[in-house]
Amino acid sequence: MPLARVPPGPRARWLRGSLEEFGRDRLGFFTRCARDYGDVAAFRLGPRPCLLLSHPDLIEYVLLTASRNFTKHFAVRLNRLLLGNGLINSEGDFWLRQRRLAQPGFVRERVVLYADTMAAATERHVADWQDGQTRDLHAEMMRLTLEIVGLTLFGADVAAETHDVSAALEVALTCYVARVQSLLLLPEWLPTPNNRRLRQAVGRLDDILYRIIRQRRAGDRERDDLLSMLLRARDEGGGSMTDRQLRDEAMTLFLAGHETTALALTWAWYLLGRHPEVEAALLAELQAVLGGRAPTAADLPRLRYTERLVCEVLRLYPPVYTIGREALADCEIGGYRVRAGTTVFLSQWVMHHDPRYFEDPDAFRPDRWADDLARRLPKYAYFPFGGGPRVCIGNSFATMEAVLVLAIIAQKFRLAPASAEPVRPRAFLTLRPERAVPMVLARR
């Protein structure tokens, strides 16, 4: 695709910055890059040459047009101990095979079958919420979405171990971030305190996953969850996944399937608590469509405002705030020569707050998505689930889950901020709130 709307130039201007600044405030760093240096901003992270691309055409070039010339960012490849060679980490023909094996589990016709499971889990989760209580909504949504992904991926097999799984995942992610941010990248086999904690956490998760896989292989009962689907999947040659492949894909889906949706829901409650006019519009739709009952998959096409609200939350606070790729061979992007090995960043945070594409970009306005805004935008001005061949396999799953959870809880409770102090986003692996999100429950 031609890059006609991006003025070409002989070379990118280099941003004066540092690895320390990048680590301290990535959102501010990326925002300053795009604001001060335009659609192609060059900088270095230590010895690594980097580019931030902030134009839809350039992003499309990397994610779609020339996707074969770009591999995952080096930091992603550092998490192989946790995620193995699952869909996030794998490349080339192996990734394509795994994607084709997993894809049938995420087609829309299959995803809607999980709606009742999602709704029932949400109803159970809020059953002990009491009027006047203050709860940390980030912690609550993390627990809820972990339960939902456990049920849809494994059935009821991990229900009793949700706390252990959650704690192990948090330790593993914290250790991984410390490893990525370390100036001295030590090999994983060295028995450093951080590496030991990481291996212990991953070992606990492996024990659970491999036990479930063994039980499934030995069982004689048909199940309808995602793990069973992966067990039954066959490629064109009749081959199936090994236990290790099943473990890697299950771990990937387990992690990605709860963290990002939990964050979207957390930011949704935070924004609703501060925008009563949006909450009123949401409640009006829920009353008109549901009349107080729990939603089903059949209701989803009519919950249009609720879906627009989710789209707006993903715009303002995209759980995945940047995508990193590395050029495999020299290429040209927007008139600039890009050397092999250059790290290319594509930031949802930057693009979703760009006034060229979103009027009043910092405002929370779900109705901006009316009249088919998504279709009128340049394709990669809004890409909360990534794009190209590696677009998130669970995008329909996550959107449906967010709509159902919002619809159920909003009908039962009003969630008011416990403090007027704003909660700021912190660029962890994902876009987490910098602190707890306490909210006061008021039963409707």
pLDDT in tens, 346-402: 999 999 999 999 999 999 999 999 988 999 999 999 999 999 999 998 999 999 999
pLDDT category at 8 given cuts 50, 70, 90 is very low
pLDDT over 70 (residue 11):
no
Mean pLDDT of 129-140: 96
Place of tokens 């495999």: 328
Torsion 16-20-25-27 (CA) sign: positive
User: What are 142-165's pLDDT values in tens digits?
Assistant: 999 988 988 888 876 666 677 788
pLDDT category at 15 given cuts 50, 70, 90 is low
pLDDT over 60 (residue 3):
no
**Maximum Cα–Cα distance across the chain:** 65
Rounded to the nearest angstrom, the gap between the alpha carbon of residue 282 and the centroid of all alpha carbons in its chain is 24
- Comparing 331 with 11, the larger pLDDT belongs to 331
- Comparing 421 with 3, the larger pLDDT belongs to 421
pLDDT over 60 (residue 413):
yes
Give residue 150's identity as a one-letter amino acid code.
G
The pLDDT score that the predictor gives to residue 105 is 84
The pLDDT score that the predictor gives to residue 76 is 75
pLDDT category at 220 given cuts 50, 70, 90 is low
Closest CA to 14 of 48, 46, 47, 51: 51
Secondary element (H or E) of residue 179: helix 162-181
Q: 253-262, 314-323, 385-394: lowest mean pLDDT where?
A: 253-262
pLDDT category at 6 given cuts 50, 70, 90 is very low
The pLDDT score that the predictor gives to residue 278 is 98
The pLDDT score that the predictor gives to residue 289 is 97
pLDDT over 80 (residue 422):
yes
pLDDT category at 231 given cuts 50, 70, 90 is confident
DSSP state of 434: S
**Residue 342 — φ and ψ, nearest 5°?**
-70, 135
Taking the C-alpha atoms of residue 175 and residue 79, their distance in angstroms, rounded to an integer, is 10
The pLDDT score that the predictor gives to residue 25 is 87
The pLDDT score that the predictor gives to residue 268 is 98
Q: What is the pTM of this model?
A: 0.91
The pLDDT score that the predictor gives to residue 159 is 61
Provide the H-helix boundaries in 275-426.
276-289, 304-316, 348-352, 373-376, 395-412
The pLDDT score that the predictor gives to residue 183 is 57
The pLDDT score that the predictor gives to residue 9 is 44
CB 41 within 8 Å of CB 13: yes
CB 358 within 8 Å of CB 314: no
Secondary element (H or E) of residue 338: strand 336-338
User: What are 69-121's pLDDT values in tens digits?
Assistant: 999 887 777 778 888 888 888 888 888 888 988 888 888 888 899 999 999 99
Residues 6+ apart with CB under 8 A from 394: 106, 253, 256, 257
Whole-Å CA distances, 366 to 2, 400, 427, 431: 32, 17, 24, 20
Taking the C-alpha atoms of residue 434 and residue 245, their distance in angstroms, rounded to an integer, is 35
- Comparing 332 with 47, the larger pLDDT belongs to 332
pLDDT over 70 (residue 14):
no
User: What are 26-72's pLDDT values in tens digits?
Assistant: 899 999 999 988 999 988 887 888 999 999 999 999 999 999 999 98
The pLDDT score that the predictor gives to residue 7 is 42
Residues 6+ apart with CB under 8 A from 31: 349, 350, 353
pLDDT category at 19 given cuts 50, 70, 90 is low
pLDDT category at 282 given cuts 50, 70, 90 is very high
The pLDDT score that the predictor gives to residue 352 is 98
Q: What percentage of the chain exceeds 90 in pLDDT?
A: 56
Q: What percentage of the chain exceeds 70 in pLDDT?
A: 93
Average pLDDT, the chain: 88
